[in-house]
Amino acid sequence: MKAGAAAAGGLATLGLLLVMEAGIPVPLPADLVMFTVGERVAAGVFPLWLAVAGFEVISVIGTTALFVACRGPAHQLIARVGPHVGLSQARVRRTAAFVEARGRLSLAAGRATPGLRTLTVIAAGASGLSGRRALPALILGSSIFLQFHLVLGLLLGPLADRAFNQAKGPALAGLAVLAVGALIYWRARRGRRGGTEAWTEAACPACIGLSLIAEHLPGLASQAGARVPVAAHSDDRQPRPS
């Protein structure tokens, strides 16, 4: 009974991750959900092969669905709603120009970089790149990000379980502090809208560390860096009604 419930819970978590990977807003940090799958595998209640295969299926279907949607029915929706979640047209244009200049490597790197994952797929769709050229690199980046967090869950999951079993209250408090601290970090660097969008992609310390490294890499720095003054990118400003 317990094994069946645990397996069902694992499958439900994979279903939630598929929704997240397809770019549908969910008010939860996706990386912590991925970590949970690894923790369940480490606890022996969810098969490793199913977690690995499930993550690969999620990377293919989720990335493809988001890319196709950005090329078609979701294009106008993103243009209208995007600025409210940190995806302004100016930011998408800058990322699209970067993608066109750097090619497939930039697609894989962007899709694997915390805080740039959804934006990279949207920019690839907006740039007019064909699916044959863009999707393999985007799926590779997605796979790297997902499997990395599966490994983190496998390695750190037993420690998290031990801490939770020994002191549930402090463990839950620590998790809440981690989530709130990550949200404050992203909002301080990218503003309220962009910070919230980045938080749903990356809230764990490992992801925040990777984002700091990305800020010092050529090309990615302009996309992954901290919030810049409006004067530095005047095309980000919304025209005032006359």
Tell me which of 148 and 82 has the higher pLDDT: 148
Q: Does the pLDDT of residue 237 top 50, yes or no?
A: no
* Boundaries of every domain in the chain: 2-155
Q: What is the pLDDT of residue 56?
A: 97
- The DSSP output letter for 114 is T
Q: Are 136 and 59 in contact (CB under 8 A)?
A: no
Q: Which of 46-55, 117-126, 221-230 has the highest mean pLDDT?
A: 46-55
CA–CA–CA angle 55, 126, 129 (5° rounding):
75
DSSP notation for 60-80 = HHHHHHHHHHHHTTTHHHHHH
Note the maximum CA span of the chain.
66
Across the chain, mean pLDDT equals 76
- Which residue is associated with the tokens 């200049």? 101
Length of the chain as a residue count: 242
pTM (two decimals)? 0.75
